[in-house]
Structure formats: C-alpha cells, structure tokens
Structure 1
Amino acid sequence: MAFFPVYHYRIHDDPGARYFGDQLDFFDPWNDLNSSPTTLVVTPDRFHWVNQPRQQRRSSNTKSPCQHQVARAPNVEKFRIQFNVAGFNPETIKTHLEGQKVVILAKQEERLPDGDYNIREVRKSCPLPEHADTNHLVSYVTPNHVLVIEVPIKNPELERRQAEVKSENQNLTQFGSNRDPQFNYSAFLAGSGFQPQIINKDDNKKQLAMTLDMKNYGADEIKVSVKNNELIVKGEQRNKNNNYSERSFFFKSVALPPGTQVEQLQSYLTPEGQLKIEVPFEEQKEEAQSVESQKEESKPAEEPNKN
C-alpha cells in the first residue's frame, strides 16, 4: 500500500500565482475574486473573463459594502476543462452550450501590409458530466494562455441523503458531545460523498476515515490537497495531439469538522479503485466559561432595598 503525497495550500505573495501551475487548483471563481480583504482583490493584467460568474456581474453594478459576502456551500463538487489557447487573442475566444456539451470557439487573424493574411480558427466541443449546473458555468483565460471552463455539479442522491441524516441525530454522536455549533455535521456526513465515519483506535484515540470512488482514474491521475481545513481531491485526464492539448478535471472538496488533525492526513488507492483517506480526530473540549460569565455567577446577590 503506497500513500499519496498530500499537498498543503500555502499563500503566495504574488497574486498572479493563483493562475499558474498547481495554485490554480485552489482558485474558486465563484467566491475567491474580491470576496474578502484577505483574498485577491486585483486581477492580473492579462486575466480575461469569457463567461463571468453571476455575483461578479452583479458586483460591477453596485457599490454596496456587503456586495462581496458570498455564502459558500459546505461541500463543493465541480468539473473543469483546461484548453491551451496560446496564439489566440482572448477577445476572440467564446464558449457556449449545445445540449450537454460546451463549445469553444477561437480565432486569430494576422494581416500583413502587402495584403497577405493568415487566419487560425478552432472549434472544440467537450461533453459535460451528468448533473452539471450549466446555469453557473464560468470560463476565463489565465495569464499563461490557458482557457479554463468550470461548472458546479449537483448530486440529487447526496442531497436526499443529507435530508435524511438531519433527522437522525444519533449519527452525530460519533463526533462527541461538545460539537461545534458553527459546523454542519449533517451536511458533512451525507452531503459530501466521502462516506465519513469516526473509528475508535487503540489507546482511546479516534480516526476520521473517508472513502471516495475513483474507479475512472489511475494513481498518477489523482491529487489530494488540503486548503486550511478543506480537503480537495482532484482527478485529471489529458488529451493531446499535434493541434491542441486539453485537460479535464474532476474536483470534489469538503470542509472537515473541527478536531481533524489535517497535518497528519494520509490517503491511498485500493486495487478496487477506492480512495481511502485517514486522519486522526480529537473530540472538541467543553468550552470554558468566559471571564465575564464567571464574574456574574460569583457576584453575591444584591440585598433588597429596605427603604
């Protein structure tokens, strides 16, 4: 059994690094741009939207101080296509939907003073996965001439299971009695697709175990990453010939519950194509009372006024 390397997200000083190499894995076009003071607020000069996210379009028409506060789903599943568009003017690149496919159009013209000209044109159609939410499809060209198309995935079965878990509070007791009220444990159990469970280990220690079906991907096509307390699994497939290169990605991410020791996370692929993820888990301690509350409780009761 060979463990996958786990990549931990690190913040870069150069904001343009988000659009190069592996840092692009952590970029969320629906939430990251102008979403808070700690995220990227200025796009690189050569960054070009083809299909802009809806909240980005709204924000360009309003100056409300709360315009960038976008709620993020606790579990994210999306599909991405990367297409090399080097040599094409980003202004000429278009994407549109035809049924369950996204169609890419790009054109480049070069006209010379003597009347000669050279025209390059490409049309490429890419199938989208089942349950792709095409109403929220986005696309953009990065500074290193890569067209990125991303679409969120809806999973009706996971949504149904999440509704069932909400009525089964006994499933939540495995996380301990002092659970964080800010974390959605029901969504984590049923809405992520990772099939999580807490396992009791030796020496009274606990382990969070998760399983994800990755039958369509080989070990060299899977990448496991951690961004803060968020687990991200990426499956990658490549297609290349003399005329173009294309990469398609499956992304699934989930916010991990408080108490997860993310620095010790390990994962491996079974012969049956199941990605196994294991990480130590510590139950939350009961929060100590605030100093103000302790003072109020220790303060003697006031005597009634005899006057």
Structure 2
Amino acid sequence: MATVSVRITPAKDAIVSQQVFDECVTVPASDASGAVSPVAASAGVRRNVLDMFSLDGKVAVITAGARGLGYSMAEGLCAAGLSGIAIIDLQCDLGERACEQLYLQFGVDAKFYRLDVRDDAAVQGAMDSVVRDLGRIDIVILSAGVADIVHAEEYSPEKFHRVIDINLNGSFFCAQAAGKLMIAAGRGGSIIFVGSMSGSIVNWPNPQCAYNSSKAGVIHLMKSLSAEWAKHRIRCNSISPGYMDTPLNTVFEEGYFHEWKSRTPMGRLGQPEELAGCALWLASDASSFCTGSDILIDGGYTVL
C-alpha cells in the first residue's frame, strides 16, 4: 500500500513543544475506493492473527504439569506446535504417564523431571537439565500450588509455612532459575504464573488466610518481575482462576461446592481446559505487548 507524509500544525494557543509537530507522521494512503485499512494504519506489518498463536520450535516448562490445571495447559500449548515440553512434578507415575500421553497425542518431545519446587538448588538443576535435554526454555507455566481450609487461630506454623513455601517461594525459585537462562540466551520468553482470584479478594466463607496471602504474593511477584525483566524481553503475566473442578478442590467438604457455585454468577465450577486458551495466548506472540497483567478466569465471581 502506498503511503503519504502528513505534517500536523498545532493551534496557536497550544502549550506544547513545536518539535513534536515538526515530526512527519506516515499514514497509509487510501485505495482506489478512498478507504484506509485501520489495521494497516496502526501497524507496519500485517500478520495473520492465527499465525501469532503458533509455538513452533519453542520449549515449555510446566510445574505441577502431571494433572489438573497444569496438564490441561500443557495440552493447549502442545496443540500449538511446541517442539519440546518439560513436565515438573513430585509424582513420578503421573509425570511419566503425562509425558507419554503428550507424545502420543501431539508428537512433542516430552520429558519428566521430579522436583520439589521448595528446593532452590534442585530447581536450578532441573532448569539446567531442561536446556541440556530439550535445547532451550521459551515458556514457563508455574502452576504448583497447595491449599488448606484452616481457621487462622488454629493454623500451625508448619502448615502455614508449607503453603507459602510451595505457592510463593516455589514460584520465585522456578521463575528465577528460568529467568537466568532466558537472559543468558538473549531470546526473551514468557513466564506465566498461576495466581488465584483469592489473591485479589477474600472468597468467603473459606478460612484460608495462608492460601490467600500466598496468591496475593504470587501476583505481586509477577508484576515486580515483569518490570525488572522487560528489558530482557521476558514477559511475566498471571492467570487467576476462580473455583475450578480439580483434585485440589475435591478434598474439601461437599458443602463448600454448593456455596462456591451459588456465589459464582455462571453457577458452576470452571473446567481445567478453560484455562488453556488464555495460557496459549500468554505463551505466544499473540500477547507480545502484554506483561504485568493478572487475568481473572472466575465465572464472574469477583464482579459481585
């Protein structure tokens, strides 16, 4: 498309540097019908939007990826063309089976690494192994997490520490280890934290002060790293689910399920696969100008 140069002249009473208006702005010229494409007017290069979701040639790491939310997001990324995926989990049988299923379904090179995310030295060793085995790390999804329903006055220090150590400290150790490798490689990357709507609101009537505190910390950790690492082209964002139908929630009393559904405008729990589309968007070039964002997927719970 042909372009024309336009010079803008400020009003006489405008209090603004003349230099700003001395710059030439290039806009697309109209076609034979006189129409101007709004897309071409705002972008230098037109791309097929579906192509922007491709993950061809990229490698992802997913903590707690052997089942539940982590595995569903792994499936979503593999469907977009990953060349390799690392599943990190504590449960060997589930982890190995997850890798077999991903390979059979998508043909992706899938490897399992047993890891406790609370062990910072082991975390760095696992990330180094991923680079050695799969060649690189482009995407990290941090979905390892635990929850308790315990009244605050009865919370033991050990149980409180466990939730904070896995949910918050573990997220930092994994992000730090992967971030170092991404910075060294110089290609940038996408780190996706799994927060929770509980990091933004107190989801009554659950007594879960440790979980809520940990997820609020995860979201702010994500925002802090997004600011620090933007210069390295590492984008950090978080997905914050509402009540999801996962093994993490099935251990709680059935009475809570009715309460959760009644307080959710959509009247149901979310399904694990309903996070996959958002994870793919954040992992891909489709979200290349998005960093520091917390995306709520909660059936409308937090709008009330």
- The normalised TM-score by structure 2 is 0.26
Computing the radius of gyration over CA atoms, which structure comes out larger, 1 or 2? 1
Higher strand share: 1
- The normalised TM-score by structure 1 is 0.26
Quick one: higher RCO (CA 8 Å, sep 6+), 1 or 2? 1
